[in-house]
Amino acid sequence: MLPFTPGKVILITGAALGLGRATAKLLAPVGARLVLVDRDGEGVRRTAAELGIGDRAIGLEVNVLDWEQVQAMVTTAVHRFDRLDGLVNTVGGSSGHGVRGARSIEELDLADWDRTFDLNVKSVFYCCRAAIPALRAAGGGRIVNTSSVAGRSQSQLGGPQYAAAKAAVVGFTRQLAFQLAKDNITVNAVAPGPTLSERVSAIWDKRPDEERQEILSRIPAGRLGEVDELAGAVVYFLSDLAGYVTGHTLDVNGGLYMD
What's the DSSP call for residue 61? E
Q: Considering its fold, how many domains does the chain have in total?
A: 1
When mean pLDDT is compared across 35-44, 174-183, 200-209, the lowest value belongs to 200-209
Report pLDDT for 204.
Answer: 67
Is residue 132 assigned to a domain? yes
Measuring CA to CA, how many Å separate 212 from each of 103, 154, 219?
19, 18, 11
Over residues 163-173, the mean pLDDT reads 97
Residues taking part in catalysis:
162
- Is 221 among the domain residues? no
The model scores a pTM over 0.75: yes
- What pLDDT, on a 0 to 100 scale, did the predictor assign at position 213? 84
* Local structure of residue 226 (DSSP, 8 states): P
Is residue 208 a part of any domain in this protein?
A: no
CA separation for the pair 249, 124 (Å, rounded): 15
Share of the chain above pLDDT 70, in %: 93
Residue 145: CATH number of its domain: 3.40.50.720
Mean pLDDT of the chain: 91
Write out the residue range of the structural domain in which residue 186 sits.
Answer: 9-191+226-252
Task: Return the pLDDT at 197.
Answer: 72
Does the residue 143 lie in any domain? Answer: yes
Cα–Cα–Cα angle for 175, 176, 181, nearest 5°? 110
pLDDT value at 98 more than 50: no
Sequence-ordered strand ranges (E) for 183-243: 185-192
Of the given ranges (56-60, 92-96, 244-248), which has the lowest mean pLDDT?
A: 92-96
- Decide if 200 is inside a domain: no
Residue 146 counted as domain residue: yes
Read off the pLDDT of residues 181-196 as tens digits, 9 standing for 90 and up: 999 999 999 999 887 6
Say if CB 177 and CB 128 are below 8 A apart: no
Domain membership of residue 71 (yes or no) is yes
Closest CA to 69 of 95, 41, 105, 96: 41
- Domain annotation covers residue 237: yes
